[in-house]
Structure 1
Amino acid sequence: DGVAASLAGGTHHAGTNWGEGFCIFNDTAVSAREMQDRGLVQRVLIVDCDVHQGNGTAEIFAKDDTVFTLSLHGEKNFPLRKYPSSLDVPLSDGTSDEAYLAALDRALEVSFSTFEPDIIFYIAGADPYEGDRLGRLGVSQEGLLQRDRLVFTSAVTNCAPVAIVCGGGYCNDLAMITEIHAATMREAVRFEEQFAQISRK
């Protein structure tokens, strides 16, 4: 209760009528809109922590004030042309744990101070990892765990349930990608009781 996860997804480069970057349909956007159409939620916050900017998601919801899109991504990474999100946080190549987590903390604070969501869709990419072939950032495995913890803590503090999708991961060490994603799920389970309290309210 209060938290759900998919072991795939995060296809954030697909826009209204186009796809790119391994993405054909934007699963997060479709899910958010489906929940709204069914009357399950009204206001959606998308926290995109894949290393690549969520250009498709930003384009789909550009004129929709019921959806707030936050993208924390590599400034010089794909896509070359970035569609403006509600809040974009571009990061320099080699960004460390400390700088990454500080930027995310500030971004979450700004997001929640301007927008009150009924649900959060969290794209928990493994590609900010320092060993990722396409990531270009310097975030450690522990740093990514701290990232997850920060997102979940913010969600609980603001009484917002979370739907998690995995996003990208392009490390040559497939076991490392698996472990990063598994750590996200373990951390979500660790917060399970706190999320359950949200769902009871």
Structure 2
Amino acid sequence: MISIAYHPIYKHSLPEGHRFPMLKYELLPQQLLYEGTVTVQDFFEPEKANIEDVLAVHSSNYLNDLLLLTLDPRAARKIGFPLSVELVERELRIANGTIIGAQKAIETGVAFNIAGGTHHAYSDRGEAFCLLNDQAIAAQYLLNHKLSKKILIADLDVHQGNGTAEIFSKNSSVFTFSMHGKSNYPFKKEVSDLDIALPDETNDASYLKILKETLPKIIEQQKPDFIFYLAGVDILATDKLGKLSCTIEGCKKRDEMVFEQCLKHQIPVQVSMGGGYSPEIKTIVEAHANTFRIAKDVF
């Protein structure tokens, strides 16, 4: 069984001008249901996250500014979305979807959040359309509730997980691994436990070779008992915000590699979808749908 966090607010709370790339939040569940990869029973609608769980990762001043819509205008501009009650609710639901998904993954092996992967959210600020760091919040939840002792966050979005790196910079219970485009945003990178910065035009063969050499070593050395996987599809050559040259098939093989390692070592994995900004929405949906298809085949 694959558990999937989804709520209509994932799409409908977003302002005009941002809705095209966010159409995937509506179309992806429809595609997965249509083709029979998942059933309606696989989905759950998360409530808003408990404030205490969010505060385990984010500062009280920052969270209060979000909740009260009193964020400094300069800080709001860095986020990129105009703040609204609905947008903050969306972020709280996404965060809780990842928390619940992590708990479900412990039971079943794998769980998804149709949204999430908000890895540019720092402990005290947001950036690049990320307000709250869903996988960081969920990781800290697992640690605080003694559901995990050692966590690996495998961030394979084309952009470095700078917020995640900052949040866990002094936490030895979480190993942050980011494999991203060297010249992509953020232009000032943070320091993850392991960063692999890829040159522009990196293709399938090079990408998969590096991942195959790296991921098993991390698992062997760190021995995580839980993995958070950020499965951004902005590594595609067609992506408007990425500079790599991977194909849909290469992206699919990347997912397969991650899931097979999780299964081999019997490590539960929660997956947040991350970025995807190809010009044609069908490309984005197909690449994301592959992640679910591979998970169903592997698990």
TM-score tier by shorter-chain length is over 0.9
Q: Name the aligned partner's letter for residue 51 of structure 1.
A: V
**1:76 & 1:14 partners in 2: Cα distance?**
20
Are 1:13 and 1:20, in contact at CA under 8 Å, matched by a contact in 2?
yes
- 1:195 maps to which residue? none
Cα RMSD (Å) = 0.8
Query: Per the alignment, in what secondary structure is the counterpart of residue 218 of structure 2?
Result: helix
Shift of 1:190: 0.8
Please give the per-residue CA displacement for 1:115-137, whole angstroms capped at 9, x wherever unaligned. Answer: 01111000000100110001110
Please give the per-residue CA displacement for 1:77-106, whole angstroms capped at 9, x wherever unaligned. Answer: 000111111110110000010000011112
- 1:186 maps to which residue? 293
For structure 2, which runs of at least 5 residues remain unmatched after alignment? 1-107
| Residue 126 of structure 2 corresponds to residue 22 of structure 1 | no
Q: Name the aligned partner's letter for residue 101 of structure 1.
A: L
- 1:138 maps to which residue? 245
Please give the per-residue CA displacement for 1:20-41, whole angstroms capped at 9, x wherever unaligned. Answer: 0110100000011111111111
**2:136 & 2:255 partners in 1: Cα distance?**
21
Structure 1 runs (4+) greater than 2 angstroms displaced: none
- 1:37 maps to which residue? 144
For structure 1, which runs of at least 5 residues remain unmatched after alignment? 193-201
Specify which structure has the higher proportion of helix: 2
- 2:13 maps to which residue? none
**1:63 & 1:36 partners in 2: Cα distance?**
14
Q: Name the aligned partner's letter for residue 175 of structure 1.
A: K
Bigger RCO of structures 1 and 2 (CA < 8 A, at least 6 apart): 1
| Residue 180 of structure 2 corresponds to residue 56 of structure 1 | no
Shift of 1:162: 0.7
- 1:96 maps to which residue? 203
Q: Report how many aligned residue pairs link the two structures.
A: 192
**TM-score, structure 2 normalization:** 0.63
Please give the per-residue CA displacement for 1:116-162, whole angstroms capped at 9, x wherever unaligned. Answer: 11110000001001100011100000000000000011111222111
- 1:176 maps to which residue? 283
